Amino acid sequence: MIELDVTKSHVLHQWKADSALIACRFSPTGDHCVSTSQDNRLQRWNIADGQKVVLEGHESWVHALTFNKTGDQLVSGGCEGRLIWWSILEAQPKAIRTVEAHAGWIRGVEISPDGAMLVSVGNDQVIRLWKADTGEKLHEWPAHERHIYSAAFHPDGQHLLTGDLLGKICVWKLSDRTLVRTLDAATLYSPNKGQNAEFGGVRSLAISPNGNEIYAAGTHKGSNPFGAVHEPLLLRFTWADGALTKSHVCDGIPGGLLYRTVALNDATVTAVSGGSSGGILLFFNATQEKEFHRAGLPSLARDMDIHAAKGLVATAHFDQHLRISALFA
């Protein structure tokens, strides 16, 4: 087991794609990372040597990615509303299954803790559950009044969380799809009357491995959202009662927005900020209001994933690079 020390984080590798990157995810083994780019393509990168294989099948950008538990399949969700299952370990991965799943953008796909179910959410405000291995639709229900930006399964396997543009987080009981409670993350929503603009949203949801804490990431203080004047914000809630326990503000990152948050372990949660201050990795704990460590990245980042066992962070960058950073000395 690698001894993590996030204060020693540093870039190990950087590999360039043909277009600006949008999203990235590690495979369960950490042998591969898949990224997506503005040319509608996906890239599978071999972590050992940076070898790249390009996947084509979407007609739009892909913001949503998840691997199945065994790591032999990847599911991607595109802005055209399409879910594609890929045989990701083959020399040239193929689309195993394509499902026209949503009307409009898919913004989140996640695999359930037991690997049996897949959830997809997006702009049509509907939550859809799928059998992960067959693509059969299990359930769907209109769930939010505005675009759904994010989704996460609770580690207990019994609950699903979804977050929307307005900063509303819903906790759903999976057995009967009833709404258990809502969490108020409205500070992540910055309507701007002067610009007639709605902006913000729960860009990312994460849950601590022990299931005790919920993290919601995005931006606040959107005084000029379409001029990129806003700041990053991470909210911390307790699972037991849904109470907001911390608002992790990030000083000195004007124009920042947390595109993704991931729980590194029960003590540390990580987020990546993009925006006019560039790409920054931020590390938070339960005791401090502000991050206990930040690490600058060479270019603006738009997504991030962590492979905790290997101590690696992948970041997808505007400058077309996928960067792999180490969380150890």
Partner 1 sequence: MSNRARYACGSMDHALSRRRFLGASGLLGASGLLGGVASLPSKVAGAIPKNDYRVVVFNMHGGLSQLESWDPKPSTNTGGPFRAIATSVPGIHISELLPKTAKQMHHLCLLRGVNTAEDDHGKGAYMMLTGRRQTPAAEYPQVGSVAAKMLHDDQTGLPGHIIITPGGGGGRGNEAAYLGPKFNSIHLGGDKPPQNSNKPDAIAQEAEDRRHLLRRKINEQYLSQRRSAITDAYTHSYEQALKLMERREVFDVSKEPQAAQDKYGNSELGRQCLVARRLLENGVSFVQITHSNYDTHNDNFNFHIEQVGEFDLAYATFIEDLAERGMLEKTLVVVLSEFGRTPHINLYYGRDHWSKAWSVAMAGAKVVPGAAFGQTNKEGTEVVDGQVDHGDIFHTILRGVGVDSSQSLIVDGRELPIADPAAEPIWKVLV
In the list 5, 39, 90, 251, the residue contacting partner 1 (rule: CB under 8 A) is 39
Stretch that binds partner 1, among 37-45, 113-121, 234-242, 308-316 (CB under 8 A): 37-45
Task: Give me the least distance between CB of 323 and partner 1, in Å please.
Answer: 16
**Burial of 49 from C-beta contacts in 10 A (0-12 / 13-18 / 19+):** exposed
Is there a contact between 31 and 68 (Cβ–Cβ < 8 Å)?
no
Q: Taking CB under 8 A as the rule, does residue 54 contact partner 1?
A: no
Is there a contact between 62 and 25 (Cβ–Cβ < 8 Å)?
no
Name which of 195 and 285 has its Cβ closer to partner 1: 195
Q: Tell me, by CB under 8 A, how many residues bind partner 1.
A: 32
Binding positions for partner 1, 175-234, rule CB under 8 A: 193-199, 224-228
Stretch that binds partner 1, among 56-64, 133-141, 170-178, 283-291 (CB under 8 A): 56-64
273 contact partners, CB below 8 Å, separation of at least 6: 232, 250, 253, 256, 257, 258, 259, 279, 280, 282, 301
**Burial of 291 from C-beta contacts in 10 A (0-12 / 13-18 / 19+):** buried
Report how far apart the first and last C-alpha atoms of the chain are (Å, whole number): 14
Q: What are the two backbone dihedrals, phi and then psi, of residue 225, each rounded to the nearest 5 degrees?
A: -60, -35
Helix (H, G, I), strand (E, B) or coil at 227: helix
The first and second tokens of residue 157, run together, are: 């396997």
Binding positions for partner 1, 126-145, rule CB under 8 A: none
Name which of 236 and 317 has its Cβ closer to partner 1: 317
Site string for partner 1, 85-124 (x = CB under 8 A): -------------------xx-----------------x-
Q: Taking CB under 8 A as the rule, does residue 252 contact partner 1?
A: no
Q: Taking CB under 8 A as the rule, does residue 5 contact partner 1?
A: no
Is there a contact between 151 and 108 (Cβ–Cβ < 8 Å)?
yes
Q: Which residues bind partner 1 (CB under 8 A)?
A: 19-20, 38-40, 59-61, 79-80, 104-105, 123, 147, 193-199, 224-228, 255, 274-276, 300, 318
